[in-house]
Chains A and B, each alone.
Chain A
Amino acid sequence: MEKKRRVITLLSIPSIWLLLFFVLPFTIMLLFSIRETTFSPIFPPTLSHYIEFLTTPVYLRLLLSSAWIAFVTAVITILLAYPLAYYLIFHGGKHRLALLSFLILPAWTSYLLRVLAWKVILGSNGIINTFLLSLGLIDEGMPIFLYSQSAVIITLVYVWIPYAALPIFSTLERIDIKLIEASQDLGASPLRTFLRVTLPLSTPGLVSAFFFVFIPSLGEWVTPSLVGGADGIMYGNLVQTQFLRGLNWPMGTVMSTVLLLIVSVFTMLFNRHVTMKEMSALA
Chain B
Amino acid sequence: MKQLKWLGPFYYSLLALFLYLPILFLILFSFNDSVVLTFPLKGFTIRWYQQLLQTPELLAAFRNTLWVAVTSSFFATLLGAMAAIAISRYTFWGKRLFSSVATFPIVIPYLVLGVALLLFFNAIGIPLNLWTVGIGHVVINLPYAMLIIGARLAGFSANLEEASMDLGETYWGTLRRVTIPIIMPSLIAAFLSSFSTSFDEFALTFFLTGTKTTLPIYLYSQLRFPQRLPLAITVAAVVIVISSLLLILSEWLRHWGEKAYKA
Direct contact of A and B (CB under 8 A): yes
Residues of A at under 8 Å CB distance from B? 2-4, 6-7, 10-11, 13-15, 17-18, 21-26, 28-29, 80, 83-84, 87-88, 91, 94-95, 97-118, 120-121, 125-127, 130, 158, 161-163, 166-171, 173-174, 190, 201, 204-205, 207-209, 211-212, 215-216, 218-219, 221, 236, 239-240, 243-244, 249, 252-253, 256, 259-260, 262-264, 267-268, 271, 274, 278, 281
Contact A14 to B8, CB < 8 A, known contacts A102-B16, A103-B15, A260-B107: no
Contact A26 to B23, CB < 8 A, known contacts A7-B90, A13-B82: no
Compute how far the CA of A77 lies from the CA of B253 in the bound complex, rounded to whole angstroms: 33
Interface of B is mostly: helix
Asked if B139 contacts A18 (CB within 8 A), the reply is yes
Residues of B at under 8 Å CB distance from A? 1, 5, 8-9, 11-12, 15-16, 18-23, 25-26, 29, 37-39, 79-80, 82-83, 85-86, 90, 92, 96, 98-109, 111-113, 115-117, 119-120, 123, 135-136, 138-139, 142, 144, 147-152, 154-156, 171, 182, 185-186, 188-190, 192-193, 196-197, 199-200, 215-216, 219-220, 223, 232-233, 236, 239-240, 243-244, 247-248, 250-251, 255
Query: Which residue in A6, A102, A169, A209 is a CB contact (below 8 Å) of B247?
Result: A102
Compute how far the CA of A267 lies from the CA of B104 in the bound complex, rounded to whole angstroms: 10
Asked if B236 contacts A98 (CB within 8 A), the reply is no
Compute how far the CA of A125 lies from the CA of B39 in the bound complex, rounded to whole angstroms: 7
Query: Which residue in A28, A130, A239 is a CB contact (below 8 Å) of B119?
Result: A28
Task: Output the least CB separation between B13 and chain A (Å).
Answer: 11
Q: List 7 A-B contacts (CB under 8 A).
A: A7-B92, A14-B80, A21-B120, A109-B236, A113-B233, A120-B29, A167-B147
Cβ contacts under 8 Å, B196 to chain A = 104, 107-108, 163
Interface of A is mostly: helix
Asked if A215 contacts B103 (CB within 8 A), the reply is yes
Contact A97 to B155, CB < 8 A, known contacts A6-B171, A83-B11, A263-B104: no
Cβ contacts under 8 Å, B154 to chain A = 171, 204, 274, 278
Asked if B103 contacts A263 (CB within 8 A), the reply is yes
Compute how far the CA of A96 lies from the CA of B240 in the bound complex, rounded to whole angstroms: 20
Asked if A161 contacts B185 (CB within 8 A), the reply is no
Cβ contacts under 8 Å, A80 to chain B = 15
Task: Output the least CB separation between B110 and chain A (Å).
Answer: 8
Cβ contacts under 8 Å, A23 to chain B = 101
Asked if B82 contacts A97 (CB within 8 A), the reply is no
